[in-house]
Amino acid sequence: MQLPPALTLLAISGSLRANSTNTALLGAAALLAPEGVAITVFEGLGALPHFNPDHADTPSPEVAAFVQAAVDADGLVIACPEYARGIPGTFKNALDWLVGSTQFPGKPVMLFNASPRASDAQAALRLVLNTMSARIVDDACMTLDLLGRPWDAAAIVAESRLAEPVRKALATFCNAIQ
């Protein structure tokens, strides 16, 4: 008999690109998760309709599933690129759907960054998440320089100089939320 995971984390990439390094980083995190931790990478960002407060009480099935997955998760792992010195609109849209959730405040969040040049987006993301009353676990947040090469999850896992910081950040995050 297999026991359910002790912790469930929802990983959300702010990128819609098929070969996104942010999405690859989250895929690697799912492969590197500590024992007893299940990480699910959310894949429906592009399917979420534009946020409209008039529909918050009767959300589309895509929105309802996203909000429920975020609420049910013990924590969120976010990797978001920087577009024009800010958060991509599609990702901000997803966060807007979570704003009205009474179960989101206090939600533990860790931030991965796949580019050391994306500091403005990270600052903007922190501002939005703090406004939403998320609990950002600073000791678990990290930047991993994936610029200059098309990384996928398996390549990140295979490269110890990349995999070890991810393992350490995940362990720190899980310890902070248990």
- Residue 178: CB atoms within 10 A of its CB come to 12
In Å, the largest CA–CA distance within the chain is: 50
Q: How far apart are CA 120 and CA 115, in angstroms?
A: 11
Confidence (pLDDT) at 54 = 93
Confidence (pLDDT) at 149 = 84
Which helix (H) or strand (E) segment holds residue 160: the answer is: helix 160-177
Among 45, 46, 67, which Cα is nearest to 55's? Answer: 67
Q: How far apart are CA 82 and CA 22, in angstroms?
A: 10
Q: Is the dihedral of CA 160, 166, 169, 172 positive or negative?
A: negative
Confidence (pLDDT) at 154 = 97
Confidence (pLDDT) at 87 = 95
Q: Which residues lie below 8 Å from residue 173, measured CB to CB, with a gap of 6+?
A: 9, 75, 77, 108, 110, 137, 140
Confidence (pLDDT) at 1 = 58
Specify the residue for token string 């990349």.
162
β-pair partners for 135:
108
Confidence (pLDDT) at 5 = 74
Q: Which residues lie below 8 Å from residue 17, measured CB to CB, with a gap of 6+?
A: 23
Mean pLDDT by 10 residues, the chain (178 residues): 80 94 97 96 96 93 97 97 94 95 95 92 96 97 91 96 98 95
Which helix (H) or strand (E) segment holds residue 111: the answer is: strand 108-113
- pTM: predicted TM-score of the whole model, two decimal places: 0.95
Confidence (pLDDT) at 71 = 96
Confidence (pLDDT) at 151 = 93
Q: Residue 109, SS3?
A: strand
Q: Which residues lie below 8 Å from residue 175, measured CB to CB, with a gap of 6+?
A: none
Specify the residue for token string 């350490």.
168
- pLDDT tens column, 52-99: 999 988 999 999 999 999 999 999 999 999 999 999 999 999 999 999
